[in-house]
Amino acid sequence: MKVLWLQSGGCGGCTQSLLCAEPRPLFDELRDAGIEFVWHPALSPESGAEALQLLGDCADGTMPFDVLCVEGAMLHGPEGTGRFHLMAGSGRPLTEWVERLARRARWVFAIGSCTAFGGFSAATPGNPLEACGLQYDGDEPGGLLGEAFVAAGGLPVVNIAGCPAHPGWVVDTLQKLALDGLTEGDLDDCGRPLLYAEQLVHHGCSRNEYYEFKASARQHSDLGCLMENLGCKGTQAHADCNVRTWNGGGSCLRGGFACIACTESGFEAPGHPFQETPKIAGIPIGLPTDMPKAWFIALSVLSKSATPKRVRDNAVADHPVVRPAVRKPSK
């Protein structure tokens, strides 16, 4: 399976993240699954004229390839010219290259939230970059390729959203495709692979005991739940960060800071400071999406009143100050 990769209005972080794939080295993992890069801007040998020739051959159909992976938002500005990103050496807007190549690809993957939805590039007030995603403009279908776009393989754009995307999300989606294809049943309502997006960041969170008892952190480096005060959206964000984990066992929550829901469209403009939980009458407004608010509040009151001292004290410390009791065997 041949993969062609392009980068545009983004930070390159999804590629940097991808190189952390484990346990096997990325190149070995892909090669043995029958996946190869036709060209990748950060990895391939070809530069300059050689690279342009190769891309031209892919765009006019003389060099067949299977998957177009795009990393970074599509920049239409200024004033629709695409000059905020002309592909070096070609003088043509990158958006034009992507449109040509998407017509030849059997599958099109948006790598990262910029590419899926527009991300930070689209977050400037008034969007002067005229940035959008491949098939979404924020949470509205459309984007560069349009709502009706379907690649030759039968699917719209596959949105491997995340900022950055976890290496496993990309590698596993490519391998699933190479193994037995992808269908609409493998994707959620906004095109994200269910292999990572059918979970919530909340699942497997190491702070779940604090969440159960609503024992909240008050400041950074506290051990408690980050939802009530520090802006955490782990109960709303679709991703398996706390099950799969990052960099050998980490996640945002395990790192001591809030989930900012970076796999969701519009995460970059939440309407409140990222690290503060917006509240109305002391109650966080961003409650779990599938739980009636009254129940949540009732449960919160009950669980707060039942919080063990260990959980209450540790929630506001940066290391456990009360250990779980050791039960002596009964005689």
Partner 1 sequence: MRRIVLGPFNRVEGDLEITLDVDAGQVMAARVNSPLFRGFEQILAGRAAQDALVVVPRICGICSVAQSAAAAAALGDLCAVEMPENGRLARHLVQAAENLADHLTYFYLFFMPDFARADYVDRNWHAAVAARFAAVTGSAAPAVLVARANLLKLFGFLAGKWPHTLALQPGGSTRAIGSAEVVRILALLRGFRAFLEAELLGDALESFAALASEAELRAWGAGRGSDFPSFLQAAYDLSLENVGRAADGFLSYGAYAMFPSGVWRVDGAVDTLETGKISEDTRHAWLVDGPPRPPADGETYVDADKAEAYTWCKAPRYGGQILETGALARLVVAGQPLARDLVARHGASVTARVVARMIELASVVPVMERWARAIVPGEAFCHAAALPDSGQGVGLVEAARGSLGHWLSVDRGRIERYQIVAPTTWNFSPRDAAGRPGPLEQALVGLPAGAGAPPTIQHVVRSFDPCMVCTVH
Burial of 87 (0-12, 13-18, 19+ CB in 10 A): buried
Phi/psi of residue 209, each to 5°?
Answer: -65, -35
Q: How many chain residues bind partner 1 (CB under 8 A)?
A: 77
Q: How far is the CB of 173 from partner 1 (least distance, A)?
A: 19
Q: Which is nearer to partner 1, 156 or 167 (CB)?
A: 167
Q: Which is nearer to partner 1, 185 or 249 (CB)?
A: 249
Q: How far is the CB of 195 from partner 1 (least distance, A)?
A: 19
Q: How far is the CB of 165 from partner 1 (least distance, A)?
A: 11
Figure out which of the listed residues 86, 178, 243, 287 binds partner 1, where binding follows CB under 8 A: 86
Q: Which is nearer to partner 1, 74 or 158 (CB)?
A: 74
**Which residues in the 22-51 window bind partner 1 by CB under 8 A?**
22, 25-28, 37, 41-48, 51
**Which residues in the 201-260 window bind partner 1 by CB under 8 A?**
219-221, 241, 245-258, 260
Q: How far is the CB of 256 from partner 1 (least distance, A)?
A: 3
Contact of 235 with 200, CB cutoff 8 Å: yes
| Per-residue CA distances from 194 to 190, 217, 240 (Å) | 10, 31, 10
Figure out which of the listed residues 185, 273, 282, 329 binds partner 1, where binding follows CB under 8 A: 273
Tell me the C-alpha distance between 101 and 65, whole Å: 10
Tell me the C-alpha distance between 66 and 167, whole Å: 20
Residue 185: CA count within 13 A, CB half-sphere: 2
**Which residues in the 61-80 window bind partner 1 by CB under 8 A?**
75, 78
| Per-residue CA distances from 261 to 91, 232, 234, 253, 286 (Å) | 36, 8, 7, 12, 12
Burial of 63 (0-12, 13-18, 19+ CB in 10 A): middle
Figure out which of the listed residues 4, 14, 69, 177 binds partner 1, where binding follows CB under 8 A: 14
Q: How far is the CB of 197 from partner 1 (least distance, A)?
A: 17
Q: How far is the CB of 83 from partner 1 (least distance, A)?
A: 6
Query: Is residue 17 part of the contact set for partner 1 (CB under 8 A)?
Result: yes
Give the tokens for residue 161. Answer: 């959203």
Tell me the C-alpha distance between 66 and 58, whole Å: 10
For tokens 């480096």, what's the residue? 221
Give the tokens for residue 263. Answer: 């796999």
Q: How far is the CB of 273 from partner 1 (least distance, A)?
A: 4
Tell me the C-alpha distance between 19 and 21, whole Å: 5
- What would the DSSP string read from start to end of 127-181? -TT-EE-SSEETTEE-TTT-TT---TTS---EEE--SS--HHHHHHHHHHHHHH-
Contact of 105 with 177, CB cutoff 8 Å: no
Q: Which of these segments, 137-145, 150-158, 274-282, 291-299, binds partner 1 (CB under 8 A)? A: 274-282
Helix (H, G, I), strand (E, B) or coil at 288: coil
Q: Which is nearer to partner 1, 275 or 300 (CB)?
A: 275
Q: Which is nearer to partner 1, 28 or 147 (CB)?
A: 28
With a CB cutoff of 8 Å and minimum separation 6, the contacts of 140 are: none
Q: Which is nearer to partner 1, 82 or 143 (CB)?
A: 82
Query: Is residue 168 part of the contact set for partner 1 (CB under 8 A)?
Result: no
Q: How far is the CB of 219 from partner 1 (least distance, A)?
A: 5
**Which residues in the 108-167 window bind partner 1 by CB under 8 A?**
119-121, 123-125, 128-129, 163-164
| β-pairing verdict for 74-75 and 107-111 | unpaired
Query: Is residue 52 part of the contact set for partner 1 (CB under 8 A)?
Result: yes
Q: Which is nearer to partner 1, 20 or 178 (CB)?
A: 20
